[in-house]
Chains A and B, each alone.
Chain A
Amino acid sequence: MAITFFGLLLVTFLIARVIPIDPVLAVVGDNAKADVYDAARAALGLDKPLWQQFATYVGKVFTGDLGKSVLTSNLVTDDIKRVFPATLELATLGTLIGVSLGVPLGVLAAVYQGRWPDQLARLIGLFGYSVPVFWFGLMGLLLFYAKLGWVAGPGRISVAYQDFVDPITGVLVIDAALQGEWEAFRDAWSHLILPAAVLGLLSVAYISRMARSFMITELQQQYVIAARVKGMSEFRVIWRHALRNAFVPLITVIALSYAQLLEGSVLTETIFAWPGLGRYITNSLLNADMNAVLGGTLVVGAVFIGVNLLSDILGRLVDPRTR
Chain B
Amino acid sequence: MRALTTPTEQPLLELDNLRVNFHTPTGIVRAVRGLSFTLGRERLGIVGESGSGKSMTGRAILDLIPYPGEVLADRLVYRGQDLLTMDKRTRRKLRGRHISMVMQDPKFSLNPVQTVGEQIAEAYRVHHKASAREARERSIAMLEAVQIREPGRVYELYPHEVSGGMGQRVMIAMMLIAEPDILIADEPTSALDVTVQLQILKILDDLVTERGMGLIFISHDLHLVQSFCDRVIVMYGGKAMETLPAAELADEAARSQRHPYTLGLLGCLPDLDHPKAKLATLTRDPAWLA
Interface residues of A (CB under 8 A from B): 221-223, 225-234, 241, 244-245, 248, 318-321
Contacts and interface: CB of A to CB of B under 8 A. Distances in A.
Contact of B123 (A230, A234, A319, A321): A230
Contacts of A225: 64, 103, 109
B108 interface: yes
5 contacts: A223-B110, A230-B174, A231-B93, A318-B113, A320-B115
B95 A223 contact: no
B15 interface: no
B178 A231 contact: yes
Interface residues of B, number: 31
B96 A321 contact: no
Nearest to B64: A228
A115 to B, nearest CB: 10
B113 A232 contact: no
A138 B226 CA distance: 75
Contacts of A233: 92
A321 B112 contact: yes
Given A232-B126, A233-B92, A320-B160, A227 B111 contact: yes
Given A230-B126, A231-B127, A222 B108 contact: yes
Contacts of B111: 223, 226-227, 241, 244-245
A313 to B, nearest CB: 16
Contact of B95 (A231, A241, A320): A231
Nearest to B177: A230
Given A222-B109, A225-B64, A321-B158, A231 B175 contact: no
B94 interface: yes
Contact of B113 (A226, A229, A230, A245): A245
A318 B112 CA distance: 10
B172 to A, nearest CB: 12
Contact of A223 (B62, B108, B123, B158): B108
What 9 A-B pairs have minimum CB-CB distances, sorted nearest first?
A231-B96, A222-B108, A231-B95, A222-B109, A230-B123, A320-B158, A230-B96, A226-B109, A223-B111
Contacts of B108: 221-223
A244 B97 contact: no
B64 A230 contact: no
Nearest to B95: A231
A220 B60 CA distance: 17
